[in-house]
Structure 1
Amino acid sequence: MANKVVKKQIHTIPVLEVVRDELAGERLPLVIFYHGWQINKELVLTQGRKLAAKGFRVCLPDAPNHGERKQTLSPIPSVTFWNSIQGNLFEFETLCEHYEKESLTNGRVYVGGLSMGGITTCALLTHYPEIKAAVCLMGEPAIVDYRNRGIERARAFNVDFPQSYVDLMSWQEKFDLSLRPELLAGRPIYFWHGTEDPKIPIDSVKRFVAVNQGKEYGKNIVFEIGEGKKHLVHTDTMDAAANFLAAKK
């Protein structure tokens, strides 16, 4: 089963599309999988191949400010970070509409991502009930709390923020899955996180799962802990993510 990898431009969004060669012209379930901070779509191609092998059409976009869209970082890196996530959210419908217009999807849409892409994934679940299932690898559902922790860390290094910073980021409250967990509405989501992750600590994800997994809307949350693992996804986790979504087709 050979995979076909095609480099495409969807409006202004550079993407890699991965699909089994013999299924390339068929309507398939669509997975949009988002990469992490300061990497690019090519570095999640292994995950894309594993998903395509399960019969999905996989779209791997470059986030704004990344890959082919790389730009100079803001003097306050978190501004570029959140701008990149907001751009992913803004462009989600564009990607879905493209595949629908081209008759390349059967209408079943899934999302996933690692690190910054996992944050994007959780945020999308607050606004798009058509998403059937999701995978969040090393991500963060509580984005307001994550933002506030970032401000505290930056101020410890004497980084100044404008007084209006929180207001400028006010969109985050409406996309914070931890503040609106009922919007999961029973949809399956797979979390994986390493216990020794220094970049996005596991504690917030553990709290989210503990609070919501026993609720009706959170009954299909699956949480796998990577004991001793840091901020890196290994191939066995990629396999687990692909198997999880394949079981929800």
Structure 2
Amino acid sequence: MVIVENHLINRIPLLHIVKKDAQLETLPFIIFSHGFTSAKEHNLHYAYLLAEKGFRVILPEALYHGEREQGISEEIFYGHFWEIVIKTIHELNNIKEYYVQEGLADPERIGLAGTSMGGMVTLGALTKYKWAKAAVSLMGMPAYENYSLWQMDQLQGQGIKLPFTETQISEQLSILRQFDLSLQQEKLEKRPLLFWHGKKDPIVPFELTYQFYQSIKNDYEEVPENLHFIIDERADHKVSREGLEATIEWFEKYLLH
């Protein structure tokens, strides 16, 4: 039987999903991050299937989302996008440290995954954390700087005045470069990495993700099986059943055996 518990770790609300009979064991460990304007509960189907396979899974609540909502307006909320991404990357390490220290997570078998913004968090975290042994990005992309510029172009194209000065934009881009995997792809170190992306995605451009995948293929020449990109020709910004199943199989392959 799989159980779902509410935990609060370092003031981060999260869901903890694990098989009841393995609750106190040291298990392979996955942190799955949700998307922008979503919430931790929305990815319970991933967590349940992973827990059934023998993983301990954590679904954290991102800043300003779900239980951490602060009632800010939609316009202000969107202005906090990158703050949320970077805050979540830092919080992943806090969560990992807690479960490793408690003897509940195997430090040699830790995976990261996420949808949309959560996929971006996952890819950004790979620039910082060697402890992440395998990763899955569903509709995410690693090119933080390029995506930030694309977002601003989209807003201006809709006639929305950017709530930032040129200096603020420059400062933000400087911070984002530190987490931009497309600018430091050597930090992947051939770790297993799976992408799923719909070709018709209007929110996170497919091209930005696919260009990155193409740029790192040579780095994986010795271990081509460690890198895979699933293209859904018809999908927009919603992960298919194929993407869900591929996520489970990826972690089963690289963290269980």
TM bucket (normalised to shorter chain) is: over 0.9
Change (3 A) 1:154 1:77: farther
Which structure features the higher share of helix residues?
2
Give the structure 1 partner of residue 153 of structure 2: 152
Letter in 1 for 2:170: D
Letter in 2 for 1:45: L
Q: CA deviation at 1:8?
A: 0.7
Give the structure 2 partner of residue 133 of structure 1: 134
Letter in 1 for 2:140: G
For residues 51 and 182 of structure 1, the distance between their equivalents in structure 2, rounded to whole angstroms, comes to 29
TM-score (norm 1): 0.95
Q: Does 1:89 align with 2:84?
A: no
For residues 171 and 92 of structure 1, the distance between their equivalents in structure 2, rounded to whole angstroms, comes to 18
Q: CA deviation at 1:39?
A: 0.8
Please tell me whether the aligned partners of residues 15 and 59 of structure 2 are also in contact (alpha carbons under 8 angstroms). yes
Q: CA deviation at 1:77?
A: 4.2
Aligned residue for 1:86, secondary structure, equals helix
Please tell me whether the aligned partners of residues 220 and 227 of structure 2 are also in contact (alpha carbons under 8 angstroms). no
1:244 to 250, 254, 257: 250
Give the structure 2 partner of residue 228 of structure 1: 234
Please tell me whether the aligned partners of residues 138 and 193 of structure 1 are also in contact (alpha carbons under 8 angstroms). yes
Q: How does 1:1-249 map to 2 (within 5 A)?
A: 2-71=1-70, 72-73=72-73, 75-107=75-107, 108-156=109-157, 157-160=159-162, 161-169=164-172, 170-216=174-220, 219=224, 220-249=226-255
Q: How many residue pairs are counted as aligned between the two chains?
A: 248
Aligned residue for 1:247, secondary structure, equals helix
Deviations 1:50-79 (A, max 9, x none): 111121100000000101001214635442
For residues 136 and 201 of structure 2, the distance between their equivalents in structure 1, rounded to whole angstroms, comes to 18
For residues 50 and 175 of structure 2, the distance between their equivalents in structure 1, rounded to whole angstroms, comes to 31
Please tell me whether the aligned partners of residues 192 and 224 of structure 1 are also in contact (alpha carbons under 8 angstroms). yes
Q: CA deviation at 1:231?
A: 0.4
Letter in 2 for 1:114: T
TM-score (norm 2): 0.92
Q: CA deviation at 1:139?
A: 0.3
Deviations 1:170-201 (A, max 9, x none): 21101101111111101001000001111112
For residues 81 and 10 of structure 1, the distance between their equivalents in structure 2, rounded to whole angstroms, comes to 22
* Identity of matched residues, %: 34
Please tell me whether the aligned partners of residues 73 and 80 of structure 1 are also in contact (alpha carbons under 8 angstroms). no
For residues 78 and 177 of structure 1, the distance between their equivalents in structure 2, rounded to whole angstroms, comes to 22
Q: CA deviation at 1:83?
A: 1.3
